[in-house]
Amino acid sequence: MNYIDGLREDTAVLPNGMMFNARIKFMERICQALLNNELPKYHFPQFQLKEKEITSYMESNVNLNEVEFQTMAAHLEKFDHDLGEFRTYLQTRFGYWATITQDFAAAIKAEFPNETFLELMAGNGYLSKGLRDVGVETYCTDDLSWSKYNQTGNLKMTEIESLDALSALEKYGHKVDNVIVAWSPDREDIDYQVLQKMRQLDASFLVIGEKNGATDSKEFWDEANLIDDPRIEKINQVYSRYDLVHDQLYLVK
């Protein structure tokens, strides 16, 4: 049984569980887009239940007897927990780490018009796919070493040139306006090596990640100078921060 079916089973045992169908349908559209080799159209809302929603739902079911109420509460807790597993499901099933959507790619194009990009460590190429779909000239590179461990690199969305990060910088770093990296692993210092190399180039360095959190090495965050830029702020308005992971786009020097 797939993840979406599991959510439907969760709501089937809840009184008036159909009230949660809208969020499940949104999640289903995301999965369907990825299955169709497309990006989700819109940035994601928060999927887990807000405290106000939980309180309101509990109050609407006060007519249940004690046993029924306790059963309902347990089912609601399981449903909320399962909603919180969506990110893990997307990562495992699709190798979809950064939340790249069509509106996010369009925002990058709008704020960096007529500029070229090099994506390093692209995985399945979701970001490059988004940029290319809106007409941005993008070099997409990855040596696909992660494909041995999970779906990252096994479900390619666009053409990806087999180059590791430093080799890609050597080949294309002088040819582009921007270099971009999304969700570099937190236990490898390749991002720190890339940062040192970027400081020898004229291109801007854009990073999607969670500062001192789920992405990128400690060495990188300790060394990175994060630049305030109104363009980045505008783009981040359509970057999905839909759960406990607070990643975003950064301009790094």
Cβ contact 210:245 at 8 Å: yes
Per-residue DSSP letter, 86:
H
The residues near 161 (Cβ < 8 Å, ≥ 6 apart) are 139, 140, 141, 142, 168
The boundaries of every CATH 3.40.50.150 domain in the chain are: 102-252
Cβ contact 163:142 at 8 Å: yes
| CATH node for 102-252 | 3.40.50.150
Residue 245: what residue type? Answer: V
Cβ contact 209:184 at 8 Å: yes
Each of the 253 residues of the chain gets a pLDDT tens digit; together they read 599 999 999 999 999 999 999 999 999 999 999 999 999 999 999 999 999 999 999 999 999 999 999 999 999 999 999 999 999 999 999 999 999 999 999 999 999 999 999 999 999 999 999 999 999 999 999 998 765 556 676 789 999 999 999 999 999 999 999 999 999 999 999 999 999 999 999 999 999 999 999 999 999 999 999 999 999 999 999 999 999 999 999 999 9
What is the predicted pLDDT for the residue at 72? 97
